[in-house]
Amino acid sequence: MGLRQFGRARLLLLGGVASVLVLAALYGPGRGSQPLVLFFSPWRIEKQLYKLDLSWPKFPELFTGQTFCVAVDHIHGLVYVGQRGDHVPKVLVFSEEGYLLQAWNTTLEMPHGIFALNTANDSSVWITDVGTGEYGHTIKQYSPSGKLLQVLGIPGVAGSGTNPVQFDQPAEIYVEHTGDIYVVDGDGGMNNRLLKLTEDLKTLWLRGENGSGTAQFRIPHSVTVDSFGRVWVADRGNQRIQAFDKTTGEWLGSWSDCFVEDGPYSVRLTADEKYMITAQLNIDRVLILAAPPVGSIGDCVVVDTIQLAARVRPHLLDISMKSGAVYVAEIGAQQVQKYVPLD
């Protein structure tokens, strides 16, 4: 353990160097006779928004596998962690205070994405399984104590069907309080699509195919829905985030300027919907973007970054809707770390 945050100064320095290069390109020799090109920079960093909470969890040695995903049930103060590996429990349940409460080990091969649904009457955990064995290519719904409630997809069979619905390495799921389900499928398999399903698994709409055009995907990796009726997808391989209308599936826009160095791995919004937070695994960075108001998504704007140590490899993350804490699942460091908002 113990790979820690470092070097904000280094990042600011990089920003400075980039600005100088841009100025040089605009005003330097050879460009004098050309018309001035207006340069759009997505970087608007003003202050540090989060700090690492070194006291979470209390016993980091309890992480025993590769930690791929994390989900927060803010109503009950629980943090679910999905990990992979031989002879390790696949799900660890911590309290938001950092104590391990439970570990389960059922019917899961390779957890990829995890989602905690909590409403007044319902509390469950949904996990996508990208395993290729007898349980894989599915999404499972569990009770908070790990009882299997429902399986979406055909266990052990990769496919593209919609009746019944099938997946190939489903990457992540988002479930609305109405029961409607959004799935990004998948993490490198034959499908590159976003599906909206009813509670009883009828397909309402489906977008996407393999490609880099509008509303196409290359590894759609994470999905979330905002209160303005927009569905956000981390289109990892295309190094962009795309947004869709949740009712019609209509494409609303795309952000790519913020992802020149590495694609987005996650999409999550803060409770006030002011910020979108995403991980960039290959450059060990968490990026905090300004979330735009209702309607057109405009251009992306970076308002802060958290630079992690080399090879930490942040994969997926989740945000507590109560405390605002950001939990980051780090595959390389084999741990989940907690970042708390600074006032």
List of residues contacting ligand NAG (CB under 6 A): 87, 89, 105, 120-121, 190, 210
| Alpha helices per DSSP H over the chain | 8-27
Q: Which is nearer to ligand NAG, 64 or 323 (CB)?
A: 64
Burial class (CB in 10 A: 0-12, 13-18, 19+), 55: exposed
Q: Which is nearer to ligand NAG, 20 or 190 (CB)?
A: 190
Backbone angles phi, psi at 57, to 5 degrees: -75, 175
Q: Which is nearer to ligand NAG, 217 or 339 (CB)?
A: 217
Contacts of 60 (CB under 8 A, 6+ apart): 1, 335
CB of 45 to ligand NAG, least distance (A): 34
Taking the CA atoms of 316, 320, 326 and 328 in sequence, report the sign of the dihedral they define: negative
Bridge-based pairing of strands 170-175 and 220-225 is unpaired
CB of 301 to ligand NAG, least distance (A): 30
Q: Which is nearer to ligand NAG, 82 or 89 (CB)?
A: 89
Q: Which is nearer to ligand NAG, 121 or 163 (CB)?
A: 121
* DSSP-derived 3-state class of residue 162: strand
Q: Which is nearer to ligand NAG, 9 or 120 (CB)?
A: 120
Cα angle for residues 304, 294, 296 (degrees, 5° grid): 85
CB of 123 to ligand NAG, least distance (A): 12
Q: Which is nearer to ligand NAG, 47 or 87 (CB)?
A: 87
| Residues 216 and 224: beta-carbon distance below 8 Å | no
CB of 62 to ligand NAG, least distance (A): 12
Q: Which is nearer to ligand NAG, 89 or 111 (CB)?
A: 89
| Residues 304 and 286: beta-carbon distance below 8 Å | no
CB of 213 to ligand NAG, least distance (A): 12
CB of 87 to ligand NAG, least distance (A): 4
User: What is 244-291 written as a DSSP string?
Assistant: EETTT--EEEEE-GGGSSS-----EE-TTS-EEEEEEGGGTEEEEEEP
Q: Residue 151 is which amino acid?
A: V
Distance CA 319, CA 325 (A): 6
Burial class (CB in 10 A: 0-12, 13-18, 19+), 97: exposed
CB of 321 to ligand NAG, least distance (A): 17
CB of 89 to ligand NAG, least distance (A): 5
User: Would you say how long the chain is, in residues?
Assistant: 343
